[in-house]
Chain A
């Protein structure tokens, strides 16, 4: 969880008898000792396996057939009962895990890439025209309320199934870019960058070979944060009719359950929100552990 929650470390902890001294080695050691983060990590891996299984067609294949009656209770055939249309809730929740990972991974990878690229460029060329343009773009995107922006993108792309992903990537990269920009501005005054300039390395080589790799810890942490934000945003967008177009997702399940809840049928709602809650919670713990391990400012006081 948070830095101060951990016991104050007296000695650098050792695994396999050898003390790590590098940033990543120390971070790995600290992460290994962070119980909440490790539990989060394992739960996320478990969900990832579920998603992989759906991807390969091992399970969750019967999510769209109506195999039972309306609102059946849990039974051997339908482990968690059926919904309004007689579809198996468990199968749908399992299949939605894949949807969630697809959305989370696509949005996290692309917006981290964009954030790293623009952040590094605007940091290296700070206070120039390039920096000004990128900052202007960031400010502009940040001033448009998120859900309106997504709605506008969805309408402009008229029902394109990728509208949601595009809109999320377009808005989520700004935070990463701001953090990377700050780090690059700090790093570019270091001696190794001066050395790179002295031996005549090109600007782009310096940025992409020497500056950007040193912001990798920021990119990693931001990637996990964006992943969680994307899964949470999907639920709300699907409820508004702007999210997943074909297939099923936890957001769509919760959206369809809003009518069932008023009729006193809670199974669909509870299952979808619990699956989502467990994954998001685990990812939050994982992400917090990463931050504690990688951010030098968050070392135990």
Chain B
């Protein structure tokens, strides 16, 4: 009960954020976005025809009315049909989001797990050569551009070795899934690993220097047990926060580059095409989806804090 009322309060607190995201996206993508008037007109249109099309697209109405309309369509999930393809926006989302999730999930999970493992190893041997090696590797990894990694991996695995396909997404069973997902996964793990390892190591070193860890060592507990029970579990709050907050950005931004380079029909590619062509119904759907996702993640982190740390109180202002 306490949890429910808390979640509701948070949800109401998220409204300004949703309004902000929708306002900025409306101003950028719709109000100053591409003008579709002339795409709908024949050659050499008359003044009256132009005015009629503009009225039909709603360009002649005042800012506030158009924004209210935009909000109403978002609230009712009435996104209508894509301007470019005429496909229902709902079915576009249902078709592309699973592809993006399937494409990104392995890389996301592996990147974070490996980052935590490497961070634990580096933190345990802090100051030693193992630590230095891992951290030097992390800086090198951080210095290589995502695009360079994608091009290099594609050239290596697709062209030179010829093990995996260079483009496309013809997935129908497990083996074809692995066939297509391997190179993008390797690339995204490679790119994320440097940043993740550095972050996790910093958090874990903070925890490993505490007195209770020294006490546990003095009592002769095994290193793996100390690392798991006393270090990792106590550092869970920043770790969980980082992982959860990276989800929305990964889903849209991270998939954009991989999808446009490998020619995979996912949500990132669809959104990018929608921005450049001014496909407003699709944009509305994606923007409202990311905004809502952000607010949900904000709430989820607060509730998870409670789960991983019983001292965190939900009734107080825990995340001030």
Contact = CB atoms under 8 A, between A and B. Distances in A.
The answer to whether A and B assemble together is yes
Interface of A: 1-2, 4-5, 136-137, 139-141, 143-149, 151-153, 155-157, 232, 235-236, 239-240, 251, 254-255, 257-258, 261-262, 264, 266, 269, 273, 276-277, 280-281, 284-285, 288, 301
Given A136-B20, A254-B148, A144 B257 contact: no
A196 to B, nearest CB: 26
Contacts of B148: 235, 254, 269, 273, 276-277
A261 B159 contact: yes
Contact of A261 (B132, B155, B253, B275): B155
B135 A5 contact: yes
Interface stretch (B29-37, B81-89, B176-184, B224-232): B29-37
Interface in B6-45: 16-17, 20-21, 23-25, 27-29, 32-34
A150 B67 CA distance: 21
B260 interface: yes
Contact of A235 (B29, B145, B249, B290): B145
Given A140-B20, A281-B139, A1 B275 contact: no
Contacts of A139: 17, 20
B140 A301 contact: no
Nearest to A140: B20
Contact of B145 (A137, A141, A232, A258): A232
Contact of A262 (B143, B159, B249, B278): B159
Contacts of A146: 249, 253
A278 to B, nearest CB: 8
Contacts of B261: 239, 258
A218 B144 CA distance: 25
A145 B287 CA distance: 9
A1 B132 contact: yes
A277 B146 CA distance: 11
Nearest to A258: B151
Contacts of A277: 143-145, 148
A296 B272 CA distance: 43
Contacts of B276: 151, 155
B302 interface: no
B136 interface: yes
B17 A147 contact: no
Contact of A148 (B33, B159, B253, B294): B253
B230 to A, nearest CB: 18
Contact of A257 (B127, B151, B205): B151
B155 A156 contact: no
Given A4-B127, A284-B139, A288-B139, A276 B145 contact: yes
Contact of A273 (B139, B145, B209, B272): B145
